[in-house]
Structure 1
Amino acid sequence: MALTGALVWGMNEGAVYLWTLPMFHCNGWCFTWTLAALCGTNICLRQVETKAIYQAIANDGVTHLCAAPVVLNSIVNAPKSETILPLPRVVHVMTAGAAPPPSVLFAMSQQGFRVTHTYGLSETYGPSTVCAWKPEWDELPPETQARLNARQGVQYIGLEGLDVVSTTDMKPVPADGTTIGEIVMRGNTVMKGYLNNPKANEETFANGWFHSGDLGVKHPDGYIQLKDRSKDIIISGGENISSVEVENAVYLHPAVLEASVVARPDDRWGESPCAFVTLKPGVDRSDERRLAEDIMKFCRSKLPAYWIPKSVVFGPLPKTATGKIQKHLLRARTKEMDLLRRASCSNLSG
């Protein structure tokens, strides 16, 4: 995996790598050993802050860094006082951990970062796919490049197999970019199983494939694209809603810094989309109700009517040490919100 990372990323001997990932997580996506193999330089941060990232790029000759999409978002939205632009050199960035919004990838490219998008899980020891850049993409508009690069891509070198299969009969879905199935993998970089949990192992390795629990599509060019985690799909009135695609629309609003969309209990539809939003610095927060309505109105031109968030909640988003947004905590908050709403209605009726 370490050498595969160097090949996939085109890293040369003597690369200067900036750590924004914790080394304990899949050995920092295996780049601890990649840098050793390449006689590279490790630049470490005590805290992942945009000012420190830009200073390391300017002062320490950083050529490569890995970061979750939430870190990329903070980089492109950093105050001018913290940035050092234009960059002194092209900086190669590998991102994974969540589906990156195309708007963030576009902003990174405009600043001079060259982003490689990968995808994987702890169970696959880090990256398993890469959105390999095609030369013909160079001639496309930047917005189109960002949209293509937001896909999860093709299988990593060293992975034996990758596919998107139907959740009912395990047959590969057609490469039409629309038929949703589960992403499955196999190979010697996939874990042997969960410790002392034979039932979970039987389900996870059905038919000899590792079942990721991620839902996606396969495009005509063979590239796969993640649509959602199976547990994150919102089912509203019997229709499936991709939380990732709703998030991508919310991210485009000029006031939004970060967004995460989860299911909220809904008396009529069963579930409805609820957007948790962190606003950019300097945004007027005096009338949050008006701002929430503006975000919902903004989404109407970009999403089907039933995909539009029915509620917007403002505040910081809970994250793991690797920068992943903890959606399970947000889902718990929506349940608390629903209980409070019901209690309020009960008190009014009483």
Structure 2
Amino acid sequence: MHPKVHAEAQGDKPAVIMAANDEHISYAQLDRRSNRAAQYFRSIGLNTGDTIAICMENHAHYFDIVWGAQRSGLVYVAVSNRLTAPEIAYILKDSGAQLLVSSAVMASQLAELERIAPGISQLVYGGENPGGAEQVLAAMPDGPIADERAGTDMLYSSGTTGRPKGVRLPLPENGDIAATNALIMLAQGVFGFNADSIYLSPAPLYHAAPLRWCMAVHKLGGTVIIMDKFDPERALQLIEKYQVNTSQWVPTHFVRMLKLPEETRVKYDVSSLKSAVHAAAPCPVPVKEAMIDWWGPVLMEYYAGTEGNGFTFISSPDWLEHKGSVGRALLGTIRICDDNGDEVPPRTEGAVYFEGGPQFTYHNDPEKTAKAANKHGWTSLGDVGWQDAEAFLYLTDRKSFMIISGGVNIYPQEIENLLVTHPKVADAAVIGAPDADLGEKVVAVIQPLDPETVGEELRGELDAFMRETLSGVKLPKQIDFRDELPRHATGKLYKRLLRDEYWGKADSSIV
């Protein structure tokens, strides 16, 4: 299926609702606007296999561009609008983008990009420029181009552990723009998405999951509700207002909603929800328990990456029987391996690999591509975990985040998952910092719910709270406080930035 099919069958149905101003974009409008985008791409010489980049906020015209690129056989790169101009320039150059589509909100970055990336054309929404995107695209024909062919995305890692790398997938062998794919089958068969889906997307569209799931809903003929930015109470309001039945979240969204006052949480009707999909990071057990108690057994968790090399899934009923698991593999076969790349027995911790999943490459980085595979050809996203006897996967942490203190391996995720359940903690990060005796010491960096509570009393309270659960070796030797942690808008923590700061590294840029 494809939005053009739904435009013909139910043209007045909303394809997109912008939550900030209740703007409705029908399937007929989306079809015409994406056709104009495709016509524009051809008019400036972009052909099958060429690359464009999209760097703007959650904008009403975002889907015009991605669907226009999809039906033009282009590779479209979604870039975070939170990056600086040099960071954006790196991705533009690395991806080979010939056109950057953006908005006037990014005027300062765009002006600098004209200087440091002069060879890349810009198409900008908003502002008074007569050559702006609205005027240019309005002049294009609104019928399909003669040579429609399916394109694909090229998405970059969030740079939480180093310079972001693009995952470039080949164009679909079947050039049919309406052809189905594995993601559509998962959306339908696993998460229950269909033409009746009213899907709430609270995250930035430049990230893999929000962009791909929104496009899956469009292929199936549902309605996507886009938040300009996440706000916990506003999300609850939207669920009630639009009778949202499907949605996609990350654990930090759950934590922030659970921190709302009880009287705020209970006043909104969320009974319309049938599937609340979540991923990006393992959800702390107490947090997920609380969400299931609140929303019912509608939480559906998966583990996957932009690389697309594997996919696991777990429903709420299965999770309640296997608390802490991210599920069993639906795409690929999970292999837990030791440092030699050999498989280890159940309940033994090791590197998580997928066997038999789709192959991928990191664009312009053959070394990183090679490191992602072991001697068997199985591929990994860099996570550590274990499987139980029933093949349910449990993630421990990312290998790159492991702390080695006095020769003992400590995974920060366990400590972070505990700290965020404390009623006075809004967010938490745990890292290793240099220590003369131990090599590394465990440091907890806390974002308090109320800045007025910061001080020795709260440090003591948190220490006592952790001692009830953690062994002494895992207890942070230092607890620091921050107004805000460097967390990606998708929920991922830029832990590398904190590590670099504590280790005294000068370059702590995101890329």
Shift of 1:37: 3.4
Q: Which residue of 2 aligns with 1:308?
A: 475
Q: Which residue of 2 aligns with 1:123?
A: 307
Distance 1:131 1:93, change over 3 A: same
Q: 272-281 or 19-28, which moves further after superposition?
A: 19-28
Kept in 2, the 8 Å contact 1:117–1:150? The answer is no
Kept in 1, the 8 Å contact 2:346–2:388? The answer is yes
SS at 1:208's partner residue?
Answer: coil
Q: Which residue of 1 aligns with 2:69?
A: none
Q: Given the alignment, which residue of 163, 174, 199 partners 2:335? A: 163
Query: Cα deviation per residue 1:167-213 (whole Å; 9 max; x = unaligned)?
Result: 22x2222112xx2111111445442x122322222222232111221
Q: Given the alignment, which residue of 270, 294, 297 partners 2:464? A: 297
Distance 1:186 1:36, change over 3 A: farther
Kept in 1, the 8 Å contact 2:202–2:228? The answer is no
Query: Cα deviation per residue 1:130-168 (whole Å; 9 max; x = unaligned)?
Result: 124556x7xxxxxxx2x8343121112xx2322211122
> Map of 1:1-350 to 2, 5 A cutoff?
1-26=183-208, 28=210, 30-79=212-261, 82-83=264-265, 84-113=267-296, 114-124=298-308, 128-134=311-317, 145=320, 148-156=322-330, 159-168=331-340, 170-176=341-347, 179-187=348-356, 189-191=358-360, 193-206=361-374, 207-281=376-450, 284-285=452-453, 288-315=455-482, 316-336=484-504
Counterpart residue identity of residue 428, structure 2: A
Shift of 1:322: 1.2
* Rounded Cα–Cα distance in structure 2 between residues aligned with 1:7 and 1:280: 39
Q: Which residue of 2 aligns with 1:340?
A: none
* Rounded Cα–Cα distance in structure 2 between residues aligned with 1:318 and 1:309: 20
Counterpart residue identity of residue 152, structure 1: V
Shift of 1:236: 0.7
Kept in 1, the 8 Å contact 2:352–2:384? The answer is yes
Kept in 1, the 8 Å contact 2:326–2:395? The answer is yes
Distance 1:70 1:27, change over 3 A: closer
* Rounded Cα–Cα distance in structure 2 between residues aligned with 1:11 and 1:91: 10
Q: Which residue of 1 aligns with 2:5?
A: none
SS at 1:66's partner residue?
Answer: strand
Kept in 1, the 8 Å contact 2:251–2:282? The answer is yes
Unaligned runs of 5+ in 2: 1-182, 506-511
Unaligned runs of 5+ in 1: 138-144, 338-350
* Rounded Cα–Cα distance in structure 1 between residues aligned with 2:245 and 2:500: 40
Distance 1:225 1:245, change over 3 A: same
User: How many equivalent residue pairs?
Assistant: 319
* Rounded Cα–Cα distance in structure 2 between residues aligned with 1:104 and 1:326: 21
SS at 2:404's partner residue?
Answer: strand
Shift of 1:308: 0.6
Kept in 2, the 8 Å contact 1:173–1:218? The answer is no
Q: Which residue of 1 aligns with 2:55?
A: none
* Rounded Cα–Cα distance in structure 2 between residues aligned with 1:2 and 1:328: 34
Kept in 1, the 8 Å contact 2:201–2:214? The answer is no
Shift of 1:233: 0.7
* Rounded Cα–Cα distance in structure 2 between residues aligned with 1:219 and 1:69: 23
* Rounded Cα–Cα distance in structure 2 between residues aligned with 1:217 and 1:263: 23
SS at 1:123's partner residue?
Answer: coil
Q: Identity of paired residues, percent? A: 25
Shift of 1:38: 2.7
* Rounded Cα–Cα distance in structure 2 between residues aligned with 1:130 and 1:267: 43
* Rounded Cα–Cα distance in structure 1 between residues aligned with 2:205 and 2:356: 24
Distance 1:79 1:336, change over 3 A: farther
Query: Cα deviation per residue 1:220-251 (whole Å; 9 max; x = unaligned)?
Result: 22101110111111111101111111112222
Kept in 1, the 8 Å contact 2:199–2:224? The answer is yes
Distance 1:196 1:86, change over 3 A: closer
* Rounded Cα–Cα distance in structure 1 between residues aligned with 2:379 and 2:413: 23
* Rounded Cα–Cα distance in structure 2 between residues aligned with 1:8 and 1:163: 22
SS at 1:118's partner residue?
Answer: strand
Q: 65-74 or 28-37, which moves further after superposition?
A: 28-37
Kept in 1, the 8 Å contact 2:194–2:217? The answer is no
**CA RMSD after TM alignment:** 2.3
* Rounded Cα–Cα distance in structure 1 between residues aligned with 2:354 and 2:218: 28
Counterpart residue identity of residue 36, structure 1: H
